[in-house]
Amino acid sequence: MAYGRAGPVHHDHWTVVLQAGESGSAGAQQALSRLCQTYWPPLYAYIRREGYSPEDARDLTQEFFFHFLQRDALAGVNPAAGKFRSYLLACLKHSLANERERAQAQRRGGGLPTIPLEPGDTETRYSIEPTDGLAPDVLFDRHWAFAVIERTLETLRQEHVGRDKGLAFEDLEGFLPRGRGRASRSELAAQHGINLNAVDAAIHRVRQRFGALLRREVGQTVSSEREVEEEIRYLISIVGS
């Protein structure tokens, strides 16, 4: 399935990243919260693959975000550098090499708020996920893809809340990447008393909307329109690998 051309991007690239770097702007804290809450699981999983315990991985993830923001790393970000996930992983590697021995009190000092981390589901996924001998960098990309797709699914789910007619999101989710749902097209038609054409039309609409939202999500962390296309293809492929 192709999701790269489901709608225009109505914002500049790296929007969230750049806004988070503008510490004096009104939307900076909201942008920063979105950024961290979306992309801390891939960082956490990468640190776990480096051999750290769940507790140490949580603290090191927290430490990374604290020092990343404390030194105003986002303020100096140049979108021409390419994909934000590549930039973030390079910063994490540097952080692990230089700050892994820092005490917890130092990690959380300095007057900056901590990022709320709840590794429950992330740790469970980490513990059961087959690695197939993949390199840590490739696994990081896979977790990044999961985060992007799950963020897109959650946005789409919220759009469907309160709709009074048509198939519910739970009915259609199974026809999307990483979506949960087991009912077949014919089963949905029977359950709702509609024909297959109506089911197919609903699936087509939700896939189109998923594509538009995915494109918007990806567009926030790459530096050009061409990279949006490339990143979507790559993320979809790596989720299925």
| Contact of 26 with 8, CB cutoff 8 Å | no
Domain layout of the chain by residue ranges: 10-128, 130-241
Higher-pLDDT residue of 71 and 196 is 196
Distance CA 200, CA 205 (A): 9
pLDDT tens column, 118-142: 665 666 655 546 566 678 888 899 8
What is the per-residue pLDDT for 81?
Answer: 66
Distance CA 239, CA 12 (A): 26
Share of the chain above pLDDT 70, in %: 72
97 CB-near residues (< 8 Å, 6+ apart)? none
- Does pLDDT of 7 surpass 50? no
What is the per-residue pLDDT for 31?
Answer: 74
Distance CA 40, CA 35 (A): 8
What is the per-residue pLDDT for 84?
Answer: 84
Distance CA 107, CA 90 (A): 20
What is the per-residue pLDDT for 94?
Answer: 87
Residue type, 181: G
Looking from the CA of 186 toward its CB, the CA atoms found within 13 Å total 0
Distance CA 146, CA 158 (A): 18
Token pair in block for residue 78: 């140049």
What is the per-residue pLDDT for 130?
Answer: 55
Average pLDDT over residues 27-38: 75
Q: Which string of b and e fits 19-56 if b means at least 16 CB within 10 Å?
A: bbbeeeeeebeebbebbbebbbbbbbbbbbbeebebeb
Cα angle value 16/20/21 (rounded, 5°): 120
**Alpha carbon distances (Å) from 31 to 21, 22, 191:** 9, 10, 41
Model-level pTM? 0.71
Residue 151: CB atoms within 10 Å: 17
pLDDT tens column, 150-173: 899 999 999 988 776 778 899 999
| Contact of 239 with 145, CB cutoff 8 Å | yes
3-class secondary-structure state, position 181: coil
| Contact of 16 with 221, CB cutoff 8 Å | yes
